[in-house]
Amino acid sequence: MSGIFHLKRSGTQYMFNLKSSGNGEVVLTSERYTTKQNAEAGIASVKANAPYDARYQKLTASNGSPYFTLNATNGQVIGVSESYSSTTARENGITWVKTHAPSAPTVDLT
């Protein structure tokens, strides 16, 4: 099971999802970008920052569900995870992103 980035349009903007190629589940979602080039730069930033523990922020949603963000070196959020059922599941999600994001190919769906 590996990862794949899906680059797509969202209205007049662009965004990407990092998905598991095994089950198609979205593991990480980007912000909206005004240009395709900026979205592609966001994917490059995810690939560059994913291996580093310090780039992850472990959070809890208002409904109590654990999730995480992946941040660039400047602290900007470059991806938000799905909500998880437990902190263990969130840890597994982080490990998965660290392992699969750096080498994940991009499929351009724009």
Please report the pLDDT score of residue 24 as a whole number: 87
Q: How many percent of the chain have pLDDT more than 70?
A: 99
Claim: this prediction has a pTM higher than 0.85: yes
Residue-wise pLDDT for 22-57, tens only, equals 888 999 999 999 999 999 999 999 999 999 999 999
Mean pLDDT computed over every residue of the chain:
95
Instruction: Count CB-CB contacts under 10 A for residue 39.
Output: 26
Contact between residue 58 and residue 80 where contact means Cβ atoms under 8 Å apart: no
Give the DSSP H/E element, type plus range, for residue 9: strand 3-10
Please report the pLDDT score of residue 69 as a whole number: 98
Kindly tell me if the per-residue pLDDT of 10 is higher than 90: no
> Residue written as tokens 């995870």?
81
